[in-house]
Structure 1
Amino acid sequence: MIKTITFIRFPFESRMGGEELHTIKLAEYFRSNGFEVRLISSCPVLIKEFKNLELEVYEFKPFRAPVTKLSMLAFILKYPWSLFRFKRKFNSDFFQNEACTFLLNIGEKIIFSKYLSKVASKVVFMEHATIGNFMYKNPFLGKLQTLVKLKNIEVVSVSKIMKKDLLKVYNSSAIIIPNAVYTKPTNNYDRKNQLKKIGFLGRFTEDKGSEVILNLCHKFPHLEFLISSEKLDYNLKNIKWLGYLKDKKLEEFWSEIDLLILPATKVDPFGLVVLEAIQRKVPVLISDLVGAKDYFKPEHEIFISSVNDFQSKLSEISKSPERLSIISKQAFEKLKDFSAEKMHKKYLNLLK
C-alpha cells in the first residue's frame, strides 16, 4: 500500500520565498521515494507549483493565518465551522495511509492538529517563519503547548537561531534540520577582488533590512546597489531596481555583484539566499539575526555584523577588497555540509 504525505498551508499572504521553495523540494523528494504527495491549501503559489509538478492538490479556504488582530478575530469566529468543514471534506479514510502530515502555518496547527494526530502516523509543525507577537501573545498559545506534547507531533525548524524562541513558545524542544542548496549555478563565476556592486535578493521589507540598505546607499554613493524589487519611489541614483529575478536574469545578477548583503532587523530563520550566494562564490555580509550565521565562521567564511554596525562593517570591507575572494572560497568549501541529499534524509528519518 502506497503511503501518503500531505502538506497543509493556509497563509496570511502568498509569495514565492524560501519557505515555499523548501516545501516544493521536500514534496519532490518524498515522491521520488515512493510516497503519494498531496497539498491542501489556499496558497496560490504552492497550488500552482504542486500542479506544475503533477502532484495532487486540494484547494480549500477555511481562514487566513491569524497573525494580525483583525485576522485573529475572523479566525476565532470561523474556528468551529472551519474544523467541521475540514473533517467532513478530509475524513479518516482520506488519511488512512498517511505517513506524515506537515502543517506549515499557525492556523492549521491550532485547529486541525489534534484531529490529524488521531488519523495520521506523524504530524510535523514546520517552523520557517520568524517568531513574533502573533505567537507570544496568541490566545491559543496554551493549546499549542498542549498539542506538541502529543506523542506523534514534532516541531521542526531550519536553524539553531530558532531553537531558543521555539522552546520559549512551545515549552518543548524543536528538531533542527538546516536548509540546503537547491539551485545549480550555470557559470564559473570568476571573482575579482573589488567592491563596486552590492546585491540584495529577497523581499525588500523592513524586517529584511530595507531601511538599512537605503541608509547604506546614502553613505556609499560610489557603490551601486542592485535590488531584486520593483522600482520604489526613492531618489537615489546608485540603486538599480531589478524586479523579480529568475532563470537567466537571476544568474546575471549573481555574476554582476561583488557582495551580497542581508541586514535583517528581525530574526530570519535561515536566509536561504546566503547558501545560493556562497554556491556562486559571492561573499556575503549578513546581520547577526540571520540563522545562517551559526553555520559559518565569522571573518573566515562570512562577514557578520550587528544591524547598528552594518555601515562600519561595509566600510571596513571596502578598504580591504582583497579579502572578498578569500572569504568566498572558504565558504564555498563548507557547502558540502548543506547538500539537499543530507537534508532530505533527515526528513525521511522523521517518518520512522
Structure 2
Amino acid sequence: MTILFTRFPLESLFGGAEVQTLSLMKSLIARGHDVSFVGSCPVLSVEGAKIGVDTSTVHIGKPPVTKWDALSFLWRKRAMKKALEQMLENYTDTPDVLCMLSLSEKILLTPFALKKGIKVLWIEHDSVGRWLQGNPWLSTIRKISSSVTTVCVSELSAEMYRTMGYENVHCIPNGVESPSFTASVSDTTDITIGCIARLSPEKGVHVLTDAVQHLSNVTLIINGRGTQKIEESQKVHVINRVHDIDDIYKKIDVLVLPSIENDPFGLVVAEAMLRNIPTICTTACGISKYIQSGENGLVVKAGSAVSLRDAIEILQDPESRNRIATSGKVLAETHFTVERMVDQYEQLFSV
C-alpha cells in the first residue's frame, strides 16, 4: 500500500506522538509499504528521512487550536485548503491511505481526499482539552468524522472522542519496540524512582516531588525538559537530557507517571513494563485502563500526593515489586508491542 502521513502542528516536539508515528512508519516500511510524510513538523521530516520515509516540507499556517488561531482560521482556511489540495494533487501515485495527525488537514483536506477514493484515518495522539472540546470548528469536525476512521491510542481517549460526537472511533494502543535489556528487581527497601515526563504542570511532576519528600530510603530521578521549574534536593535529581533513555531505566527500581490532566496513553509506562520495571500511573493516563491496580501495576488518583506516597511505600517491598514487575511485563508483551500495533493498523487500512 501507499501510505501518506501528514502533520501541521502548532509546535514540534520530540514527544510521544512523534516517537509513535516514527515507529509506525518504520514498521510499515519494513512490511513492504510505501510510506511518505508531508507537513510542517521538523521532527517527523528530519527523523522520518533517516528511516527511509520520503518526506516533504509544506507550510500552510497555524492550526485552529488557540483562541486567535481558531478565529483567524475563518479567513485563512481558503488559502490553506488550496495548498493542501495542491499538495495531494502533486502526488504521481494517489495514496491508498492518508493518516492525518493534526486538525487543519482533518478539516480542510478530508473531503477532497475522500472524493479521490483515499481511505482517511485521523490519528489522535494529543490530549483532549479546551482547545478541542470548546473549539468553534468542533461541529464541522463531528460531521466529517462519520466518513473517516478515528484512531485513539487508549480506550480512555476513545471514550472522550465518542462523548464529543466523533463517529467510527477505534482504539489502537501505542506499541513499544523490544528493549535492549531486562531489569532485575532488587531485594532492598532502598529504591530509586524514575519519572520521565515533560516538565509542565499537567504532567504532575510537582505532585510526585511532594509525595517523596517525607519518604525514607527513596530517591527520585526526573528526566525531562520544559517550562516548569523543579527544585532539586538530596532526594530529587533532574536530568534534562540523556543520550539513551535506557540510561535512566537502568538506574531506577520503579517508574512513576504522575499526570494530573488527560494523558492519552503514557508511553513510558509501557516501556518500563517491557523492561520488567514496576510502574505507578494515575487515573489521568490512558494506559491505566489496561492495568489491574495491585496486580500488574499501581493506579492512583490523579493529583493526589498522598495516593502516590502510599503506592511508593507499597513498592518499597521487594516481593511486591517483583510480583508487579513480572505481571506488568506480561501485560505489555500482550498489548503494547510494535508488532501488535502495526497489525491493528494494517487491519484498518484493509477494511
TM-score if structure 2 supplies the norm length?
0.91
Distance, in Å, in 2 between the alignment partners of 1:97 and 1:257 is: 48
**Whole-Å Cα distance in 2 between the matches of residues 166 and 62 of structure 1?**
26
Q: 2:102 aligns with which of 99, 105, 115?
A: 105
Q: AA paired with 1:179?
A: N
User: What root-mean-square deviation, in Å, do the aligned CA atoms of Structure 1 and Structure 2 show?
Assistant: 2.1
Which structure 2 residues correspond to residues 201-212 of structure 1 after superposition, within 5 A? Answer: 201-212=196-207
Q: Distance in 2 between matches of 1:167 and 1:24?
A: 26
3-state SS, counterpart of residue 7 of structure 1: strand
Decide which of 313, 318, 321 is 2:317's aligned counterpart. Answer: 321
Distance between the aligned counterparts of 2:171 and 2:43, measured in 1?
Answer: 25
Per the alignment, residue 159 of structure 2 pairs with 164
Counterparts of 2:240 and 2:51, CA distance in 1: 26
Question: 2: CA distance between counterparts of 1:193 and 1:283?
Answer: 14
CA distance 1:235–1:27, shift in 2 (3 Å): closer
Match of residue 142 from structure 2: 145
AA at the equivalent of 2:55: V
Paired residue for 1:180?
A: 175
- Partner Cα separation in structure 1 for residue 261 and residue 215 of structure 2: 24
Q: Is the CA contact 2:63–2:69 (under 8 Å) kept in the aligned structure 1?
A: yes
Alpha-carbon distance change, 220 to 169 in structure 1, aligned in 2, over 3 angstroms: same
Aligned amino acid, residue 348 of structure 1: E
Give the equivalent residue in structure 1 for 2:193: 198
- Deviation, structure 1 residue 90: 2.7
Q: Offset at 1:110?
A: 1.3
Q: Is the 8 A contact 1:195 1:258 kept in 2?
A: no
Would you say 1:259 and 2:254 are equivalent positions?
Answer: yes
Counterpart position of 1:344: 342
**Residue number in structure 1 paired with 2:3:** 5
Q: Deviations over 1:304-349 (max 9, x none)?
A: 1102444244235426513112111121122221222222111111
More deviation in 292-301 or 213-222?
Answer: 213-222
Distance 1:308 1:37 in 2: 40
Matched, 1:53 2:51: yes
Counterpart position of 1:114: 111
The answer on 1:289 being equivalent to 2:266 is no
Shift of residue 29, structure 1, vs aligned partner: 2.0
Structure 1 residues 346 and 63: alpha-carbon distance in aligned structure 2, compared to 1, 3 A threshold: same
Q: Which residue is equivalent to 2:275?
A: 280
- Higher mean displacement: 330-339 or 306-315: 306-315
Identical-residue share of aligned pairs (%): 23
1:188: how far off? 4.5
> Take 1:272 and 1:324, find their aligned partners in 2: how far apart are those partners?
20
Residue aligning to 1:83: 81
* SS of alignment partner, residue 164 of structure 2: helix
Q: CA deviation at 1:183?
A: 4.4
TM-score (structure 1 length as normaliser): 0.91
The aligned amino acid for 2:23 is K
2:207 is paired with a residue whose SS is helix
**Secondary structure in 1 matching 2:332:** helix
Q: 1:195 to 1:67 in 2, by over 3 A?
A: farther
For 1:328 and 1:185, locate their aligned partners in 2 and report how far apart those are by CA, in whole Å.
17
Distance 1:233 1:181 in 2: 28
1:193 and 1:279 map into 2 onto residues whose CA distance is 22
Task: Structure 2: give runs of 5+ residues left out of the alignment.
Answer: none
1:78 to 1:282, Cα distance in 2 relative to 1, 3 A:
same
- What corresponds to 1:31 in structure 2? 29
Indicate yes or no: 2:240 matched with 1:243: yes
Contact 2:255 2:280 (C-alpha < 8 Å) held by counterparts = yes
Deviation at 1:217, TM superposition (A): 4.3
Q: How far, CA to CA, are the matches of 1:189 and 1:313 in structure 2?
A: 23
Structure 1: gaps spanning 5 or more residues: none
Q: Secondary structure at the match of 1:90?
A: helix
**Distance in 2 between residues matched to 1:206 and 1:85, nearest whole Å:** 36
3-state DSSP of counterpart to 2:213: helix
Instruction: Determine the C-alpha separation between the residues in 2 that align with 1:210 and 1:156.
Output: 28
Q: Which amino acid aligns with 1:109?
A: K
Instruction: Name the CA distance, whole Å, in 2 between partners of 1:132 and 1:201.
Output: 22
Task: Supply the distance in 1 between the matched residues of 2:163 and 2:121 (Cα, whole angstroms).
Answer: 18
Note if contact 1:95-1:119 (Cα within 8 Å) is conserved in structure 2.
no
CA contact (8 A) 1:195 1:318 kept: no
Distance 1:18 1:95, change over 3 A: farther
1:131 pairs with one of 111, 128, 132? 128
Q: Deviations 1:275-314 (Å, cap 9, x if unpaired)?
A: 1111111111111111111212110110111024442442
Aligned to 2:263: 268
Q: Which runs of 4+ in 1 moved over 6 A?
A: none
1:167: Cα distance to partner?
A: 0.7
- Distance (whole Å) between structure 2 residues aligned to residue 305 and residue 233 of structure 1: 22
